[in-house]
Structure 1
Amino acid sequence: MNIVSMKYLCVLVLCACASGFVSSVTSIRNSSGGTADGSETWGYIEVRPRAHMFWWLYKSPNKPKHPTKPWPTILWLQGGPGGSGVGFGNFGELGPLDVDLKPRNSTWLQKADLLFVDCPVGTGYSYVEDDSLFVKTDVEAAIDVTTLLKAIYNGNVTTVTSPLYIFAESYGGKFAVTLALAALQAIEKGELKLQLGGVALGDSWISPEDYVLSWGPLLKDVSRIDDVGLNKSNSLALKIQQQIADGQYVNATDSWNDLEEVISDSSNNVDFYNFMLDVDNDPGFLSKKSSRRFGKKPYAMVSKDGNDLDSLMNGPIRQKLKIIPINVQWGGQSYGVFTTMEGDFMRPRIAEVDELLSKGVNVTIYNGQIDLICATKGTEAWINKLKWDGLSAYLNLARTPLYCSKDKSTTKGFFKSYENFAFYWILGAGHLVPVDQPCVSLEMVGSVANTPSM
């Protein structure tokens, strides 16, 4: 594959890949660091021989001295595969500081402790000493993160006892559901001392088939493509549907790339993270390095002040952490992560959601209204395929409007739940819900994570 085409660069804020690979790294096995006051802890866990996963835990300053119920911990899983949660999720979306290292008013630390993990190995600061150690499937990635959770929750590297809520974005949703099942299995065997509070899937790539089938009709409805573009899109989407049905997942990934080309050409380069915009005029923090179409070139996270995430992570943050091996560059292996997982990229994970529901795990879905890549239309389509016993009752319920704090003048979203399943429709948000609608997102997080009152 021509590396310039970068056809596997993905579904999210994902693979803003920095150059540089690991060679002849001296294994550091398990190591950790942290701030003097204990508010932050970070480290490496060797999840397999010569495969090293990086984690970063923030303790919330908002935790009540005498909470009425357990204070939660949120594990954030980024997409890609190959996007860095320690970078993108932390500094770009919901951590205590932004890319300019300024305090974030909407940080999720107000509602929970935050655990960021660079998953799979090879993502962000995580690395492998040999390319053969990249994971090939979501399940393999889940097993690695379960190994990391054992080290953290069983008290080997730090002490965490709070209930864990797994929040994910984009491809991270596939990691989340497979991780939740792997963690449950370890809990049942007595290998992991953890209480799983629930799983929250934000704009998650759970059913690629349903998302690609939604693109053409959605864009036609909002006048972004015409009938010619719709017919081309539908034709390729049906081809992808058949390839997935036949288990031809690598071919389906190739066709997915072709469909993105068609969508971009037919729409004059619509932004896949916000279908109301062109790819080059998104006013958010994602600045594109070129006018190339989605999937052709990695996105760069650049702040309004002009600071970029790549320089931050390979500069000041690296210096702060002190334990990053000298020849490990943040994001240097993320292209390898994606290409190695191409055989799993288009594989659906609806059955895993069903299994979690059947086991009584709380599952929350939240979706941005103007996202295209993981459009709400596609999310609703795969939800209708669930075999969960409560589906019919859930579908027949009315939605509850959501507002921001005490302001009831503007509807910010809708909510509906039944038993252990919930859905949040977030209005005015694209793919990056915490960025586009921080206020209603924060309130949603508090509700999902069952955060005790102050």
Structure 2
Amino acid sequence: MVRLWQCLIAGAAAVSANGTFRLQDVPKTICASTGSDKVGYFDFDNNSKHLFFWLAESRDNPSTDPVILWMNGGPGASSVAFGLFGELGPCLIDGPNATKPNPFAWNNHANLIFVDQPVNVGFSYSDDPVKNLEDAMTDMYAFLTSFMENFPKYAHQDFYIMELQTKKDVCNNVLNYCRDKSVSFIQAEHLSPYDFRQTCEDGGLCYQSVEWTEEYLNSSSTREQLGISDDIKFNIVDAELLQNFLDSGDMDADSIAWAEELLNQDYRILVYVGNKDWYCNAAGEKNLVHNLRWKHQSAFQARDSQPFTMDMQEIGIFKQVEGLSFVEIYDAGHMVPADKPQEALFLVESWIQDRLRST
């Protein structure tokens, strides 16, 4: 993982010359976390783009614990809304006007960075919207290189990029017949595509917490305490960005080759899924990882799944060979850390510490 930081640092000088950071402490009235939280903007590209981010330092040892960059997919979904307040951040939404500390936050033993990306998602803003995946990657590279220049204490720690996957990564790997049949059933029964145990009558995002988070972050009190300008509206999902990606053809681009290249270069990849998720379903995810063409593909395909246990209780199944790990968590939907917070924290810490095994 350190090799990625070294690559970023090597290219930092050229990219970050036009970027500056605005940063402030997060008031305890916003998030009564036991750790240190900071929030702010990265202003770059001649001050035409402004990426909003939240840094939740490790509650254990910030100077040595790993760094996790969390990005929600969509594309166009806010990482602060979904990832931080909805799943794994130091605080969770607790109704439309309050938050509560999260005992199973992923910053218990790691430094977390949540970025509302691309620009115009969440509190990020720009008059120059992102048109395609290349634009988005260029902006995130600028953010990361500048982050390491401004926060050098993190430069030598292990670094992990995690993302809630978009639908296309899995659905392209599920048989069309099964997909069409399941789509019809989901729609007819008004089931939530994020958790087929639940109903979703309005056809929206199907999570009450999402509505609460949007209301909370758009309130004048929250915005003032976070230093957000009055003219910046919180955009929980950017529909225009999604349309731009569709128009560019990037939603149909195959990203599998990137994963295969990373595995062949000995980077570690974790794929986890809730077994009640339909959108990114376990069958599709399993098919995806089994068909990755990399140097240990045969060994991975031959390896049987094993029970994944926590405190002697089976909480899922897993398979791991060299750098590739696949985990299916029982009784969880699309947002595993929201449905199974303790199990999700145990999973990610086990994987980071390279001790993903039955106990």
Q: Normalised by the size of structure 1, how large is the TM-score? A: 0.65
Identity fraction in percent: 28
Could you say which residue in structure 2 is the equivalent of 1:417? 320
Counterpart CA distance in 1 for 2:320 and 2:340 is 21
On the 8 A contact 1:51/1:128 being kept in 2, the answer is yes
| Post-superposition offset of 1:30 | 3.9
On the 8 A contact 2:81/2:236 being kept in 1, the answer is no
Structure 1 residues 127 and 263: CA distance shift in structure 2, 3 A: farther
Deviations 1:317-340 (A, max 9, x none): 322211x23211110771221111
Counterpart CA distance in 2 for 1:451 and 1:38 is 25
| Post-superposition offset of 1:141 | 1.3
On the 8 A contact 2:132/2:250 being kept in 1, the answer is yes
Partner secondary structure for residue 85 of structure 2: helix
On the 8 A contact 1:368/1:433 being kept in 2, the answer is yes
Amino acid across the alignment from 1:140: D
On the 8 A contact 1:302/1:308 being kept in 2, the answer is yes
Could you say which residue in structure 2 is the equivalent of 1:210? 173
Alignment pair present for 1:329 and 2:233: yes
What are structure 2's unaligned runs of at least 5 residues? 1-18, 28-33
**What is the RMSD of the two structures over their aligned residues, measured on CA atoms?**
2.7
Mapping of residues 37-436 of structure 1, within 5 Å? 39-49=36-46, 50-63=48-61, 70-100=64-94, 101-129=99-127, 133-155=128-150, 159-161=153-155, 162-171=157-166, 205-211=168-174, 213=175, 217=178, 230=181, 262-265=184-187, 267-279=188-200, 291-293=201-203, 297-299=204-206, 301-302=208-209, 308-315=212-219, 316-322=221-227, 324-331=228-235, 334-342=238-246, 343-404=249-310, 406=311, 408=312, 410-436=313-339
Counterpart CA distance in 2 for 1:71 and 1:333 is 31
| Post-superposition offset of 1:125 | 0.6
Structure 1 residues 158 and 126: CA distance shift in structure 2, 3 A: farther
Partner secondary structure for residue 52 of structure 1: strand
On the 8 A contact 1:358/1:388 being kept in 2, the answer is yes
On the 8 A contact 1:208/1:346 being kept in 2, the answer is no
Counterpart CA distance in 1 for 2:102 and 2:77 is 21
On the 8 A contact 1:402/1:440 being kept in 2, the answer is no
Counterpart CA distance in 1 for 2:297 and 2:354 is 27
Deviations 1:112-138 (A, max 9, x none): 111100011111011112xxx222333
Counterpart CA distance in 1 for 2:286 and 2:35 is 42
Counterpart CA distance in 2 for 1:367 and 1:441 is 10
On the 8 A contact 2:62/2:111 being kept in 1, the answer is no
| Post-superposition offset of 1:347 | 2.4
Structure 1 residues 427 and 416: CA distance shift in structure 2, 3 A: same
Q: Name which structure has the greater RCO, CA cutoff 8 Å, separation 6+.
A: 1
Q: Normalised by the size of structure 2, how large is the TM-score? A: 0.81
Counterpart CA distance in 2 for 1:81 and 1:104 is 26
Counterpart CA distance in 1 for 2:101 and 2:35 is 18
Mapping of residues 437-452 of structure 1, within 5 Å? 437-450=340-353
Partner secondary structure for residue 98 of structure 1: strand
On the 8 A contact 1:207/1:348 being kept in 2, the answer is no
Report which of the two has the higher share of strand.
2
Partner secondary structure for residue 260 of structure 2: helix
On the 8 A contact 2:289/2:326 being kept in 1, the answer is no
| Post-superposition offset of 1:209 | 1.4
**Between 56-65 and 141-150, the greater mean CA deviation after superposition:** 56-65
Counterpart CA distance in 1 for 2:236 and 2:162 is 25
Counterpart CA distance in 2 for 1:46 and 1:412 is 43
On the 8 A contact 1:136/1:344 being kept in 2, the answer is no
Partner secondary structure for residue 299 of structure 2: helix
Counterpart CA distance in 2 for 1:298 and 1:401 is 32
Aligned residues: 322
